[in-house]
Amino acid sequence: MKKILFVASEGVPFIKTGGLADVVGSLPKCIDKRYFDVRVILPRYTCMRQEIKDRMQYVTHFYMDFHYRSEYVGMLEAEVDGIHFYFIDNESMFNGFKPYSDYVLDEITKWAFFSKAALSILPVIDFRPDIIHCHDWQTGLVPVYLKERFQGGEFYRGIKSVMTIHNLKFQGKWDVKTVQEITGLSSYYFTPDKLECYKDANLLKGGLVFADAITTVSGTYAEEIKTPFFGEGLDGLMRARSHDLRGIVNGIDYDDFNPATDKYIKHKYNAINFRKEKVKNKRAMQAYLGLEQNDKVMMIGIVSRLTDQKGLDLIAYVMDELCQDAIQLVVLGTGEERYENMFRHFAWKYGGKVSANIYYSEDLSHQVYAACDAFLMPSLFEPCGLSQLMSLRYGTVPIVRETGGLKDTVQPYNEFENTGTGFSFANYNAHEMLATIRYAEHIYYDEKREWNKIIDRGMAADFSWAVSARKYQEMYDWLLS
């Protein structure tokens, strides 16, 4: 039995701000329990919902040397779907109304503490993993500490580490002197071949240098981050470690995202009866949002963080042109003020056509996937992306830019070969996007049978976690062979 430990800053069902939580919560359930014992370590945030905290049992506590003093480390545990979750408790580190603060120095301190505590608790819970699987910059110091101080001890000798990049843009950078003080690492570790990066200390870089293997969340993104445009200053390191780097596409939970059983949608449907049943969700959505009641009109959905990364400047540029077409646009999400206000403006200007829902709601997001005919995702970069996988599952045809996981998961429609599960465009260009949307409109209005076949193929595609889990298992076996 191989033992795997996930260490991460968030995971469903306990705490979630983005796709990372879905990976950490869903992937361990799908790894074959006959061969792997997978457990997860998370922080115990004070902002977690009370009913979530009530599921945790106190195990023990101890004190750990950290940043010139002795820090309390509490240990709690809970079990969900047969997976053991451990929680590190320290109120001064994990307080606040949300998991992450905007003050970088506080974040660096918090995650340095968490990384050291995650390694320190292993003998206490009597779990010696063969592999520690770290996620994003918050856990970047785990491979560093493991090599620097823990592997001298008998218990830790031979433990391997994996670093998964969910988004290379976020790295955990601060000045070297301060980070050296906080972490207690010697100056040996703050050189350009280790944690130092363009005069700053960089926690993610530390993890990428010291981990035994590196993964990221799609094959195309694994190639993209070796180039200066996508590499965020670390492309040289990614090229140097390319033989240890692999891309494994994320999955989605096919129980949570299932139009036949989804508790958030009123009119259930499946791959067989969607032609009759799916439209009922569109009617309900039009009524709920005050859009023009029309079964025939093409409804396009956007569920997204409203930021530059998501390609919203392209949409802003052609929004007036797009609204001349026979479409409806439903937007759900929050983010940068200029994009929130842009969508509010167009919802005011084109009342019966555009609906701007500037908040986040789990149930409305499911309803958008179920109600819309197409889903628009023109990202500048997208390590994996989950929304296009959800839209495929719900028979909502994705229109995406060919980058990262979007390129790996959406096969562009080819009218000559009758293949494809969506529509895509290559260049980051607003009118290229608009032309692709209009091509999709043409197929929707003039080639309805072809459109339905695109849906058939999309709903038949398998992006469940089971597929990804097999690839992670292969990597674990490779690392331990």
Q: Where are the domains of the chain?
A: 2-251+466-480, 274-462
Phi-psi group of 28: left, alpha or beta (phi > 0 → left; psi -120 to 50 → alpha; rest → beta): alpha
In the chain, % of residues over pLDDT 70: 100
Contacting residues for 281 by C-beta, under 8 A, at least 6 apart: 265, 266, 267, 269, 367, 370, 371
- Specify the CATH superfamily of domain 2-251+466-480: Glycogen Phosphorylase B; (3.40.50.2000)
How far from 113 is each of 64, 233, 261, 375, CA to CA, in Å?
Answer: 9, 26, 42, 41
The answer to whether the beta carbons of residues 139 and 6 sit under 8 Å apart is no
According to CATH, what is the number of the domain 274-462? Answer: 3.40.50.2000
Measured CA to CA, the distance from residue 401 to residue 380 in angstroms comes to 8
Residues in the chain: 481
From the number of C-beta atoms within 10 Å of its C-beta (0-12, 13-18, 19+), residue 187 rates as: exposed
Average of per-residue pLDDT values in the chain: 96
**CA geometry: angle at 213 spanning 14 and 163, to 5°?**
30
Mean predicted confidence (pLDDT) in 348-355: 95
**Where does the pLDDT of residue 110 fall: very low under 50, low under 70, confident under 90, or very high at 90 and above?**
very high
pLDDT tens, residue by residue, 185-211: 999 999 999 999 999 999 999 999 999
**What pLDDT score was predicted for residue 146?**
97
User: What's residue 29's pLDDT?
Assistant: 93
Tokens of 479: 């690392």
Asked if the domains 2-251+466-480 and 274-462 are classified in one and the same CATH topology, the answer is yes
Q: What is the mean pLDDT of residues 33-39?
A: 96
What pLDDT is stored for residue 368 in this prediction? Answer: 98
| pLDDT digit string, tens, across residues 127-152 | 999 999 999 999 999 999 999 999 88
Percent of the chain with pLDDT over 90: 96
Mean pLDDT of 299-304: 97
419 beta partners: 414
For residue 18, what pLDDT band results from cuts at 50, 70 and 90? Answer: confident
Euclidean distance between CA atoms 325 and 347, whole angstroms: 15
pLDDT of residue 297: 98
First to last CA, the chain: 14
pTM of the model: 0.93
HEC string for the chain = CEEEEEECCCECCCECCCHHHHHHHHHHHHCCCCCEEEEEEEECCCCCCHHHHCCCEEEEEEEEEECCEEEEEEEEEEEECCEEEEEEECCCCCCCCCCCCCCHHHHHHHHHHHHHHHHHCHHHHCCCCCEEEEECHHHCHHHHHHHHHHCCCHHHCCCEEEEEECCCCCCCEEEHHHHHHHHCCCHHHCCCCCCEECCEEEHHHHHHHHCCEEEECCHHHHHHCCCHHHHCCCHHHHHHCHHHEEECCCCECCCCCCCCCCCCCCCCCCCCCHHHHHHHHHHHHHHHHCCCCCCCCEEEEEECCECHHHCHHHHHHHHHHHCCCCEEEEEECCECHHHHHHHHHHHHHCCCCEEEECCCCHHHHHHHHHHCCEEEECCCCCCCCCHHHHHHHCCCEEEEECCHHHHHHCCECECCCCECCEEEECCCCHHHHHHHHHHHHHHHHHCHHHHHHHHHHHHHCCCEHHHHHHHHHHHHHHHHC
131 and 162 in contact (C-beta within 8 Å)?
yes
pLDDT at 17: 86
Give the per-residue pLDDT at 152.
86
Q: Is the pLDDT of residue 19 over 90?
A: no
